[in-house]
């Protein structure tokens, strides 16, 4: 029987159920991004840019003869951004319903508030003058709201500020905390012997700490790249020529005005653009985040595998139902969920990076819709970080399981034995020829134990020192410099 229609459509329920998982099931893990990458955050950033542009024009006296703004008036304008709330969101929605243009709605909203602020100042007696001066001043300053701007002048700087805030205030701290957590595990397990598996087959032993350190080091390198990201902005008009600017105020140094404004916002000035800022910096950033995600995905699959091999037990904070029918199970769901979210994140980051760098001739609108997915892309990455962190926090190493696998694979010592024989042969010691072939005959396709290996070594005719050293070697002690290599964690 098909699913019956609901008497009340779910979309009509107030509040309406979320369409996407990030705004529904996983809201708690990604909520900090709402302050930076939601539609409301975009309008708040736009208002900030418009306010700062107005103040910049006035304080720099770009338009000679235009009225000034007092310090209290500037503070009141900036408070519009600080006090941005539900009422502001609703008012902007109502204005946009009339303008059918989101940036124009911000302009009209700011003009309203500017009139209120200047009117309040006049009524308080803070602006001297005869009757009629205040309305004229208000009208004059209102004309400097969104002055000589194309919508993209406001949008590109707004998105740069939003992404900058989301990365530096939310994503990077969460990612760094996870890397620190992983580094702590690597140091704790630096000397824990582990049978390596190359191509899924038993291989030269290592330590669990060294393997975790490798992943930590890789993730750290990507964090350094993300930390060094540039956030670019431009303000140069409809086709990047300052055409309207120069005609309106020929005497102004518009490049200087633009650069100082963009830098005042905390961004890097882009001097050469079309109507849009080229978004290359976004593509670079998203590629770095995506690469971090892919390494994190590698960590998740490795931890899942170690758990399945019994090298880690899921014991802490696991008050979950592993299976609805098998009571004994504790599933590695944190790592599985992380894999899925990293894949969704990277699909979006990849399409953002590949799409945003292209705009037909001087402008097309593909970037407008595309950039609205930045929050979703980073949201799934943030959710994955949360999953991996919680997954790692619930693990305990199981040394006995690792030791059992090492003890069952004495054949891995064929490598050091034949390497010692090669070194001796190179020094002219007789009887050391064809070491690889001799060890292959002993070990390939069969399991051997300690007794088999000792008997083989004793029969090689090795110098006494080398013979005793190899006889004493075990899979658990054949870890080379692995414990010491963990110390390189601070090098990235």
Q: What is the pLDDT of residue 25?
A: 93
DSSP structure string for 451-465: HHHHHHHHTTT--HH
Domain edges within the chain? 32-142, 151-399, 410-474
Beta strands 193-198 and 201-207 are antiparallel
Residue segments in the chain with a per-residue pLDDT below the cut of 70: 121-134, 316-329, 492
Burial state string for 361-388 with b = 16 or more CB within 10 A and e = fewer than 16: eeeeeebeebbebbbbbbbbbbbbbbbb
HSE toward the beta carbon, residue 119, CA cutoff 13 A: 9
Rounded to whole angstroms, the Cα distance separating 48 from 77 reads 9
Q: What is the pLDDT of residue 432?
A: 78
DSSP structure string for 131-193: TTHHHHHHHHHHTTTTTT--HHHHHHHHHHHHHHHIIIIIIHHHHHHHHHHHHHHHHHTTT-E
Composition of the chain by helix, strand, coil, percent to 5: 65, 5, 30
Taking each continuous run of H as one helix and of E as one strand, the counts in the chain are 22, 6
DSSP structure string for 344-392: HHHHHHHHHHHHHT--STT--SHHHHHHTTHHHHHHHHHHHHHHHHHHH
From residue 452, alpha-carbon distances to 390, 447, 472 in Å are 44, 10, 13
Within 10 Å of residue 177's Cβ, how many Cβ atoms? 12
Backbone angles phi, psi at 145, to 5 degrees: -70, 125
Domain 32-142: top CATH class: mainly alpha
Q: What is the pLDDT of residue 319?
A: 47
Q: Which of 458, 423, 424, 419 is nearest to 439 (CA)?
A: 419
From residue 92, alpha-carbon distances to 47, 101, 113, 300, 414 in Å are 11, 11, 12, 43, 73
Q: What is the pLDDT of residue 329?
A: 55
Residues with a known catalytic role: 199, 323
pLDDT tens, residue by residue, 315-352: 865 545 455 454 455 789 999 999 999 999 999 999 99
Structure tokens at 201: 């087959």
Domain 151-399: top CATH class: mainly alpha
Structure tokens at 42: 């975009």
Residue 310 region, left (φ>0) first, then alpha (ψ -120 to 50), else beta?
A: left
Rounded to whole angstroms, the Cα distance separating 384 from 380 reads 6
Cα 222-31-217 angle, rounded to 5 deg = 15
Global model pTM greater than 0.75? yes
Tell me the CATH architecture of domain 410-474: Orthogonal Bundle (1.10)
HSE toward the beta carbon, residue 455, CA cutoff 13 A: 6
Burial-class residue 10 by CB neighbours within 10 Å (0-12, 13-18, 19+). exposed
Structure tokens at 238: 């409809």
Q: What is the largest CA-CA distance in the chain?
A: 113
Rounded to whole angstroms, the Cα distance separating 366 from 363 reads 9
Q: Which of 232, 376, 354 is nearest to 287 (CA)?
A: 354
Q: Rg of the chain's alpha carbons, rounded to an integer?
A: 32
Rounded to whole angstroms, the Cα distance separating 209 from 478 reads 15
Q: What is the pLDDT of residue 316?
A: 64
Q: What is the pLDDT of residue 167?
A: 98
Rounded to whole angstroms, the Cα distance separating 82 from 486 reads 46
Residue 245 region, left (φ>0) first, then alpha (ψ -120 to 50), else beta?
A: alpha
Beta strands 312-314 and 395-397 are antiparallel
Q: Which of 265, 257, 256, 254 is nearest to 232 (CA)?
A: 265
Rounded to whole angstroms, the Cα distance separating 445 from 411 reads 10
Q: What is the pLDDT of residue 128?
A: 40
Helix residue ranges per DSSP H, 242-373 = 243-248, 254-264, 280-308, 333-356, 366-371
Q: What is the pLDDT of residue 324?
A: 46
């Amino acid at each position: 029987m098909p699913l019956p229609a609901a008497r009340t459509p779910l979309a009509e329920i107030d509040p309406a159920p979320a369409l996407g998982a990030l705004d529904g099931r996983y809201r708690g893990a990604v909520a900090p991004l709402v302050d930076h990458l939601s539609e409301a955050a975009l309008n708040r950033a736009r208002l900030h840019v418009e306010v700062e542009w107005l103040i910049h024009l006035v304080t720099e006296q770009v338009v000679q003869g235009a009225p000034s703004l007092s310090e209290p008036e500037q503070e009141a304008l900036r408070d519009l951004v600080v006090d941005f709330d539900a009422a502001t969101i609703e008012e902007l929605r109502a204005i946009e319903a009339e303008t059918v243009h989101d940036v124009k709605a911000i302009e009209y909203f700011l003009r309203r508030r500017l009139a209120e602020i200047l009117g309040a100042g006049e009524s308080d007696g803070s602006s001297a003058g005869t009757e009629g001066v205040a309305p004229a001043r208000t009208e004059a300053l209102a004309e400097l709201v969104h002055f000589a701007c194309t919508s993209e002048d406001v949008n590109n700087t707004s998105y740069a500020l939003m992404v900058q805030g989301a990365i530096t205030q939310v994503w990077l701290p969460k990612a760094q905390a996870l890397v620190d957590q992983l580094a702590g595990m690597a140091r704790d397990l630096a000397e824990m012997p582990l049978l390596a598996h190359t191509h899924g087959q038993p291989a030269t032993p290592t330590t669990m700490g060294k393997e975790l350190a490798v992943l930590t080091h890789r993730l750290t390198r990507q964090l350094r790249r993300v930390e060094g990201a540039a956030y670019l902005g431009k303000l140069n008009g409809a086709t990047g020529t300052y055409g309207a600017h120069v005609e309106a105020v020929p005497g102004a140094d518009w490049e200087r005005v633009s650069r100082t404004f963009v830098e005042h916002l905390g961004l890097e000035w882009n001097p050469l653009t079309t109507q849009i800022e080229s978004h290359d910096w976004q593509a670079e950033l998203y590629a770095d985040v995506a690469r971090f995600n892919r390494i994190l995905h590698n960590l998740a699959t490795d931890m899942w595998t170690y758990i399945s091999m019994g090298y880690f037990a899921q014991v802490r904070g696991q008050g979950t139902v592993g299976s609805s029918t098998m009571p004994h199970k504790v599933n590695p769901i944190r790592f599985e969920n992380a894999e899925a979210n990293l894949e969704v994140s990277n699909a979006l980051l990849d399409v953002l990076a590949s799409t945003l760098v292209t705009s037909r001739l001087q402008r097309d609108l593909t970037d407008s819709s595309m950039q609205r997915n930045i929050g979703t892309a980073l949201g799934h990455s943030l959710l994955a970080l949360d999953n991996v962190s919680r997954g790692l926090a619930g693990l305990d190493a199981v040394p006995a399981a690792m030791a059992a696998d090492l003890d069952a694979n004495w054949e891995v010592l064929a490598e050091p034995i034949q390497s010692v024989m090669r070194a001796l042969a190179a020094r002219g010691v007789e009887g050391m020829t064809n070491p690889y072939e001799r060890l292959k005959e002993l070990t390939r396709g069969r399991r051997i134990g300690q007794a088999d290996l000792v008997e083989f070594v004793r029969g090689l005719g090795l110098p006494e020192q080398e013979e005793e050293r190899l006889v004493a070697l075990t899979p658990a002690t054949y870890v080379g410099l692995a414990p010491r290599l963990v110390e390189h964690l601070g090098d990235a």
